[in-house]
Amino acid sequence: MAVKERVGIVVSDKMQKTVVVAVENRAPHPKYRKIVVRTKRYKVHDEDDKCKVGDRVRIRETRPLSRTKRWAVVDILGEAAEA
pLDDT digits (tens, 9 = 90+) for 23-36: 999 999 999 999 99
Contacts (Cβ under 8 Å, ≥6 apart) of 32 = none
Confidence category of residue 83, pLDDT binned at 50, 70, 90: low
pTM across the whole model: 0.90
Residue 60 phi, psi dihedral angles, 5° rounding = -130, 140
What CATH code is carried by the domain that includes residue 19? Answer: 2.40.50.140
Q: What is the pLDDT of residue 69?
A: 97
Encoded amino acid at 23, one letter: V
Asked, for residue 24, whether it belongs to a domain, the answer is yes
Give first-to-last CA distance, the chain, whole Å.
42
pLDDT digits (tens, 9 = 90+) for 45-72: 999 999 999 999 999 999 999 999 999 9
CA trace torsion 49, 25, 54, 64 (10° rounding): -10
Please state the domain count of the chain.
1
- pLDDT of 82 > 80? The answer is no
Asked, for residue 68, whether it belongs to a domain, the answer is yes
Residue 9 phi, psi dihedral angles, 5° rounding = -110, 135
Beta bridge partners of 19: 44
Domain that holds residue 25: 5-78
